[in-house]
Structure 1
């Protein structure tokens, strides 16, 4: 029997979201029903609302979530009922060519729940990133549930479900930041500050935060940035070079997703340095770099998928670090809100007034 819950639904491009009744089916094979406790408001949710991801409306928004497993399909042995889990949008298949080569973080056949959640009239909903967690309960693939220490606060734990993990992973997993490195991060929202945090965790000697918003630069300092650059007032490439003895940074994380800032990242790195793109571009964007410059500078140009994370490996470790006081996840939470305040949270996100609004259920 399906369960009726409240959920936040986007019915059309750039229309205000609605809190409405959502029908959630009992879990079938390979599925899990999760009672959502907290879900962060991410830029990706706003992109779904605005029609920037696809036109498969209506969308059930929300994906950066933590909660408790209430039921599982008959064939599911992990997770089990009662587990406290962080939801992820890359449930690995274990069978594709990446998984078979021991690289499940690059799984090419990730999956979601098979059964659709619907509106009361039976209209199927498209869950954001296969999760749909701006709802009191959601149905996901069992592999999208990662068990973590239940003593973690849900509003903090859920942030690993997307933005913060993407940023930390961009610096640590994709960029391989290490002790003594110089790391520059361009764009200091939730993902960028995650990258700042990851660089600090990795022991970087210099962490240079770049943004045009003074508030975001102050947030970056709180996460451990040793230097900040207001790109609206000065040339960030020149400042990064000055801070790094004229050489450029060992690693530059681009957390904006635009050709202009990517070009800045490219020229702000040291010879044989690394650029990691974790900011999400739009389909119309194009990059124009002299091929000779690409050849002459050497190093690596990488893209980071979800911080190249493996949830079963990374989520429990990062939660443990948070509980030990070695990872300040709580600093990412600007405010706690209710389901009916998601539309307002989008406005605050656009204006840069929040790092993360978190819906509490």
Structure 2
């Protein structure tokens, strides 16, 4: 018997989202139904609405979520009814060539629920990142449920599901920031500030935040930025070199995903430094760099998939650090809102007025 709930749906490109009746089926083999307690409004959801991911409309939006397992299907042993979980969109398969090489963070065949949630008229929905959590319940693969300490409030914990993990992982996992190193982060939204927080956790001593918004640069200081650069009226590369003895940083993180920003990150690194792209570019963007500069600079250029994270390892670790007072997840929550406020939250996010609006479900 299907569950009937309300959810936020994007029906067509650029159209305002609507609240619709959603039918969530009983979980099948390997699946779980989760009662959603809270779900963050991420820029990726806006990308879905705008057709920036694909055109498989209608979309059931929402993916940065925490909640409680309500039901599990046949063969599910990794989670049980009543478990408090953060949802992830890279449930590893354990069988692909990446997993078999011992690199499950790169899994090439991640799992989603086999069944489809639908509108009341039977129209199949495409859940954002295989989750679709702007709804009172959602259906996911059981591997997308990561158990964490229930002492962490869902409005904060759920943000690990995407943006926060992407940023922290870009610094700690992909960039491999070490104690005493210098880091520059370009773009100080949710992902960029999480990268700053990750660099601080890793022990970086110089953390330079770069943005075109003074408001966002002030936010960055709260997460651990030791210096800020407004690149509207300052050459970011020259400013970063001036702050690092003329050399550049050990790790430069592009949290914007734009060719010009990536170029700045590339030239702002020290010899043998690492450049990390975690911001998502659009399909039409291209980057041109002199080959001799790539060769002569040494080091590495990396893209960061979901912060190169393994949710089963990294989510509980970060929740533990939060509960110890060492990682301020609460600081990412700008406001809590209702299900009907998502469209307004998109506008606030577009204007740079919030880090995260979080939909909270009253139970």
- Matched with 1:102 is 102
User: SS where residue 4 of structure 1 aligns?
Assistant: strand
Query: Displacement of 1:42 after TM fit?
Result: 0.3
Aligned residue number for residue 67 of structure 1: 67
> For 2:110, what is the secondary structure of its paired residue?
coil
**2: distance between equivalents of 1:332 and 1:122?**
37
1:59-208 aligned within 5 A: 59-208=59-208
Normalized against structure 1, the TM-score is what?
1.00
* Correspondence list, 1:1-40, <5 A: 1-40=1-40
- Aligned to 1:265, the other structure's residue is in SS state helix
**In the TM superposition, what whole-angstrom CA distance separates every residue of 1:64-112 from its partner, at most 9, and x where no partner exists?**
0000000000210111000000000000000011111111001000010
SS in 1 for 2:280: coil
Residue in 1 that maps onto 2:247 = 247
Query: Deviations 1:158-191 (Å, cap 9, x if unpaired)?
Result: 0000000000000000000011000000000000
**1:208 and 1:52 mapped to 2: Cα distance?**
30
- SS class of match (2:261): helix
Kindly state the Cα deviation for residue 330 of structure 1 after the two structures are TM-superposed: 0.3
Residue correspondences, number: 361
Q: What does residue 316 of structure 2 align with?
A: 316
Provide the residue aligned with 2:279 in structure 1. Answer: 279
Instruction: Give yes or no for the alignment of 1:48 onto 2:48.
Output: yes
Q: Which runs of 5+ in 2 are unaligned?
A: none
Aligned counterpart, 2:294 = 294
Under a length normalisation based on structure 2, what TM-score does the superposition of the two structures give?
Answer: 0.99
Counterpart secondary structure, 1:275: strand
Q: Distance in 1 between the 2:277 and 2:120 partners?
A: 41
1:11-56 CA-partner distances (Å, limit 9, x unpaired): 0000000011000000000000000000000000000001111110
Which blocks of at least 5 consecutive residues in structure 1 are unaligned?
Answer: none
Look up the match of 1:263.
Answer: 263
Q: How far, CA to CA, are the matches of 1:183 and 1:74 in structure 2?
A: 47
Alpha-carbon shift at residue 119 of structure 1 (Å) = 0.1
Q: How many angstroms does 1:233 deviate by?
A: 1.1
| Superposition deviation, residue 263 in structure 1 | 0.3
Runs (4+) off by over 2 Å: none
Calculate the aligned-residue CA RMSD, in Å: 0.4
Deviations 1:139-162 (A, max 9, x none): 000000000001110001000000
